[in-house]
Amino acid sequence: MTVSTRVLDASLGTPAAGVSVTLSRLADGWLDIESAVTGADGRHRFVADAPAGIYCLSFATGAYFRGRSVATFYPEVTITFTIGQPADGASDGHFHLPLLLSPFGYSTYRDA
């Protein structure tokens, strides 16, 4: 499996470029797999393969808003999710997890 994300800044109505994000996997504690920064389109696709397991995306939202001189309630947003075993060997092979962000709220979902 592969994992990608896109961060959208709802307060501006634009992609959130420059947000640091880390993909981690739970295995005797959290193991950081890969870290990156979202591009101009607010997107990042992780290179690392993600086999079945429990994962976490951690977004440095506090630093992003500080860079814009905007106060925020959430200094970090963490999305914990499960990648299951493919049923009968069939899988789309990819998980995309968008983050819709504002200074005092956020939402997320799995996009196909």
In the chain, the domains with their CATH numbers are: 2-108 (2.60.40.180)
pTM of the model: 0.92
Regions in the chain scoring below 50 on pLDDT: none
Q: Return the pLDDT at 86.
A: 72
Q: Return the pLDDT at 87.
A: 66
Q: Return the pLDDT at 91.
A: 57
Handedness of CA 106, 11, 66, 58 (dihedral sign): positive
Burial class (CB in 10 A: 0-12, 13-18, 19+), 93: exposed
